[in-house]
Amino acid sequence: MTYIPISPAERDAMLKTVGVKSLDDLFEAIPAKHRFPDLNLPPALTEMEAGAHLGDMASSNENVREHLISFLGAGAYHHYIPSVVDHILRRGEFYTAYTPYQPEISQGTLQAIFEYQSLMTNLTGMEVSNASHYDGATATAEAVNLAYAQFRGKRKKIVMSPTVHPQYREVIRTYTQAMGLEEVGDDASNHEVTPEAMISLIDESTMLVVVQYPDFFGRIFDYKKLIDAAHEKGALVCVVANPTALLMLKSPGEMGADIVVGEAQPFGIPLWYGGPYLGFFTTKKSYVHKMAGRLVGETVDARGNRSYVLTLTAREQHIKRERATSNICTNQGLLALGCSVYMSVLGKQGLQEVANLCYQKAHYAAAELSKIDGFGLCHVEPFFHEFVLCCPKPASEVNQYLLDNGILGGYDLGKDYPDMQNHLLVAVTEMNSKDEIDSLVEILKEMK
């Protein structure tokens, strides 16, 4: 009866109105032999006990704020979240509301999503943003769905860069396993392929080219030539972008990208052991009807007030059913709000400071690390806040050594790229002080 506000007397009065004698009488439609199973679950805890139990579980983890110095990124980044963000997210008016189907009493959620869409289009340089997807990986898979729908199944080839996040590529393979697509370029042993070299893979049957910016190794490429070449063959290009990097770097929209997606976790969402995060999805206006997901548009109400509604809903599953581009119904509403609050409260200048700190600290770390005997930077291309460190022994051993010294090292690239066993992907953000970077360097110097 933890949260049930009905007294025994009220219950009996209600049963009488319904015309049954007991609660159990309400369930006669259920096959008797399976009715009321005994569930083998632990007995109920009170709030005090549950809080303590969950507290014990949480504190048996080693976390990156209290226990470990972290240089781990690879798709999830430890950034500072201003206090205001969680204060707004804790408003019951936001977090206990449903999808805004009744716009008259959901203008808070609707205007917030409209503003989120606007922040994302301004960041990516695109014309349209939807209300968000589950995460960066599924947003990328939805880009494939868009391209497939756009060509009505007449083009079936995807050109996939091997330096798109390995898990994103895996998710795309899962999503498309029954679509009969051809995927080329996704070869882990060919990870040094340049954008220009990918051009030869694009032909008249290509529906979509997928690249990452900066790529999984942190490298910054200008994709303009690749995009122009894809457009010559009539193909679309999806750029998977890191939003923090976009604060400093040329936007994919400026390079001519057709779809820009990515993981907006760095914008105000805690690491939270991998989720929930926030997949952003932006594109050109001409593809809006093929885009999956919720979309908010501006209008007026009967009293002449500017207001907002879910629009183009006939694209979606509840109306279009099996002909819809995707079955998605929800977005990551609350986290899109968190992202908007993060961007608003840091503002243009605060965000630029975040980007600059990431860039400066990562470059300091890279410079110092590459001075250590046996270590060096693996790539010469410009990078933003993540880079590949070539190590004198397997990255897994380097990481174990660092962990023994209280440091969460980088990402072991050997897991996904067989010839990169000695390669460590190192991420540095504004959360890493110079002292932390210096101690990483010192500890690695002493590694035997």
Partner 1 sequence: MNTPSNLKYTKSDEWFDPATGAVGISDYAQSQLSDIVFVEILVDEGEEVTAGKAIASVESVKASSEIYAPAAGKVSAVNKGLSDAPETLNSDPFGAAWMIKIEGGSAGEVMDAAEYEKYCEGRSH
Partner 2 sequence: MATVIEPTIFELSSPGRRGVKMPASDVPTTALPPKELLRSELPLPELAEVDVVRHYMKLSSFNYSVDSGFYPLGSCTMKYNPKINEDTCRYPGFLFTHPLQPIETVQGNLALMYEMQEWLMEISGFAGVTLQPAAGAHGEFTGVLMMAAYHKLRGDTKRTKMLIPDAAHGTNPASVGMLGMSVVTIPSDSRGNVDLKALEAACDDTVVGMMLTNPNTLGMFDENIEKVVNMVKDCGGLMYGDGANLNALLGIVRPGDLGFDVMHFNLHKTFAVPHGGGGPGSGPVGVSQRLVDFLPSPLVGIVEEGDEETAPLYGFVTPKNSIGRMKAFHGHFGGGLVRSYTYIAMHGPDGLKDISQYAVLNANYLQARLRDTYKIPYDRICMHEFVMEGRFEGSDIRALDISKRLMDYNFHPPTNYFPLIVHEALMIEPTETENKDTLDRFADALIKIAEEAKTQPDLLHNAPSTTKFGRMDEVKAARELVLCCWLPEGYDLS
Judged by the rule CB under 8 A, the positions of this chain that interact with partner 1 are: 152, 289, 312-315, 319-320, 323
Q: Cα separations (Å) of 103 from 80, 116, 231, 298, 334? A: 34, 17, 39, 11, 17
Residue from 161, 212, 399, 429 in contact with partner 2 (CB under 8 A): 399
Backbone phi and psi for residue 79, each to the nearest 5 degrees, phi listed first? -125, 165
Taking the complex as a whole, the smallest distance from the CB of residue 315 to partner 1 amounts, in Å, to: 7
Q: CB atoms < 10 A from the CB of 334, how many?
A: 19
In this structure, is the dihedral angle defined by the CA atoms of residues 194, 196, 197 and 203, taken in order, positive or negative? positive
236 makes contact, choosing from partner 2, partner 1, none, with CB < 5 to 8 Å by partner type, with none
- Which does residue 197 touch among partner 2, partner 1, none (CB within 5 to 8 A, set by kind)? none
Diameter of the chain by CA atoms? 83
Q: Which of 21, 27, 286, 374 binds partner 2 (CB under 8 A)?
A: 27
Nearest approach in angstroms of CB 347 to partner 2 is: 4
Give which of partner 2, partner 1, none residue 136 binds (C-beta under 5 to 8 Å, depending on kind). partner 2
Helix (H, G, I), strand (E, B), or coil: what is residue 356? helix
Among 8, 152, 154, 178, binds partner 2 (CB under 8 A): 178
According to CB under 8 A, which one of 8, 154, 349, 373 is a site residue for partner 2?
A: 349
Q: What's the CA gap between 17 and 85, in Å, rounded?
A: 47
317 binds, among partner 1, partner 2, none (CB under 5 to 8 A by kind): partner 2
What does residue 405 show for φ and ψ, rounded to 5 degrees? -105, 20
Smallest gap from residue 253 Cβ to partner 1 (A): 23
Site for partner 2 in 96-115 (CB under 8 A): 96-109, 111-115
Options 39-47, 201-209, 236-244, 369-377: segment touching partner 2 (CB under 8 A): 39-47
For residue 99, the minimal CB distance to partner 1 (Å) is: 17
Q: Which does 370 bind (CB under 5 to 8 A by kind): partner 2, partner 1, none?
A: none
Can you tell me the distance from the alpha carbon of 65 to that of 410, in angstroms, rounded to the nearest whole number?
A: 16
Rounded to a whole number of angstroms, the minimum distance from the CB of residue 150 to partner 1 is 10
Q: What is the DSSP string of 383-424?
A: BSSEEEEE-SS-HHHHHHHHHHTTEE--EEGGGT-TT-TTEE
* Cα three-residue angle 442-447-448, rounded to 5 degrees: 150
Contacting residue, 156, 167, 184, 443, with partner 2 by CB under 8 A: 167
- Give the angle subtended at the CA of 75 by the CAs of 71 and 78, to the nearest 5°: 45
152 contact choice in partner 1, partner 2, none (CB below 5 to 8 Å, kind-dependent): partner 1
Report the residue number, 250 or 379, with the smaller CB distance to partner 2: 250
Nearer to partner 2, 149 or 236 (CB): 149
Cβ neighbors of 86 (< 8 A, separation 6 or more) are 338
Tell me the closest approach of the beta carbon of residue 93 to partner 1, in angstroms.
28
- Residue 242 beta carbon to partner 2: minimum distance, rounded to whole angstroms: 13
Residues in the chain: 448
Instruction: Assess contact for 176 and 144: CB atoms under 8 A.
Output: yes
Residue of 21, 170, 196, 371 that binds partner 2 (CB under 8 A): 170
